[in-house]
Amino acid sequence: MIETSYNLSQLKPIGCYYCCCKFPSLRQCTSHHQHCFETAGLPTTQKTFQLSPSFPHMDTGSIWWAKGFDSVLGNVLFNIIVDAMQTLELTDWWLCNSTPDLEPQALSYLPKLLPVGPLLRSYDDNQGVTKSSLGQFLEEDLSCINWLDQQPHASVIYLAFGSLAHFDKKQFTELALGLELTNRPFLWVVRQDSNCNPHEFKGNQGKIVEWAPQQKVLSHPAIACFVSHCGWNSTIEGLSNGVPFLCWPCFGDQFFNKTYICDELKVGLGFDLDENGLISREEIKVKVDKVLSDENIRSNAHGCNIIFVTPEFIHNKMVSSMGNQGGGDNGGSPIKLVSIPDGLGPDADRKNIRELFDSILNNMPAMLERLN
């Protein structure tokens, strides 16, 4: 996944941004674990494996190119990934939206990876946000912030599943009825392209919007937990605001992100499927109650103590995005922001992407050594 609007030819010497560090390393699982996978990349058995002893265990059933696809399409997707990884070998660096505090194993396993995250959304309170700004898919409904202002502290369940996920009507209904069972206020993002009508379920306790200013929502004191598809951007945003997760992955790297959230960082829980392959309303209520009553999860979420090291110009945007949570003393946030010089002078053109990245790559390794 390339997260930039610049011409790709400008990025050729240094690679591209990836959703998370684990993603490119999955290519190596078939060669290292031939007893688990065919040469076509499809799992031959249901079991766990490790890319290296330092990595968390992964389940062959969660290999994304084999999950939810037939074997023919799964093989096509696997070959696309292999080709992409081989192309990446031609680059000097792979820039990724991550940090050593989140994924030390992957960063040490793949030395070409250079973490430049977190790439968090920044807001300008003096300007409106439209769907055309900063690559937005939909216009954000800011009324949800005023609604959150009226809710008790740490009371609201926030649900958002990204820009692609869809539920069938049965699962959608179970989710809606599960929210009713919790008897808690909820903020639910349901896109306009959904085939289901959520408004008949919201009752008096819920608010439903088509798109939300997620960074603002997750930093709001009324939020109690985050029911998420575990996309990497959402994972970074939830961690940066110390919010416990309830993980509902749909495809791609989301299953591996769930593993990190639940098993490594221990800041969330996953849902279990029933005999019909659904997440039932009762399961939703049970897991909501459990994640909100589990002091270890809440403590871990608030105490991740993640240090994000970024160049100064990115640092300033992140501090603006996080409001009072940014800065050196953290303001009680689980995320600590540390800036380093990018090596350019004060009058340099930081829109010149080649000059900027060349300078960062030349200066960042030495600066990181000094921080250590």
pLDDT of 37 reads 67
Give the residue from 220, 241, 245 showing the smallest Cα distance to 144: 220
> Over the stretch 139-160, which tens digit does the pLDDT of each residue have?
899 999 999 999 999 999 999 9
pTM for this predicted structure: 0.75
pLDDT of 32 reads 53
pLDDT of 338 reads 66
pLDDT of 371 reads 55
pLDDT of 266 reads 93
pLDDT of 89 reads 81
> Over the stretch 297-326, which tens digit does the pLDDT of each residue have?
988 888 665 555 666 666 666 666 555 444
**With contact defined as beta carbons under 8 Å apart, do 332 and 240 qualify?**
no
pLDDT of 15 reads 46
pLDDT of 219 reads 93
Q: Which sign does the torsion angle of CA 328, 324, 134, 22 carry?
A: positive
Contacts 24+ apart (CB under 8 A), 311-319: 311/339, 311/340, 311/341, 311/342, 311/360, 311/364, 312/339, 312/340, 312/341, 312/342, 313/342, 313/350, 314/116, 314/119, 314/339, 315/339, 317/120, 317/122, 318/118, 318/120, 318/122
pLDDT of 203 reads 64
Ranges under pLDDT 70 in the chain: 1-40, 68, 121-137, 195, 197-203, 303-340, 353, 357, 360-361, 363-372
CATH architecture of the region 137-302: 3-Layer(aba) Sandwich (3.40)
User: In the chain, which segments carry CATH 3.40.50.2000?
Assistant: 137-302
Structure-block tokens of residue 53: 């002893």
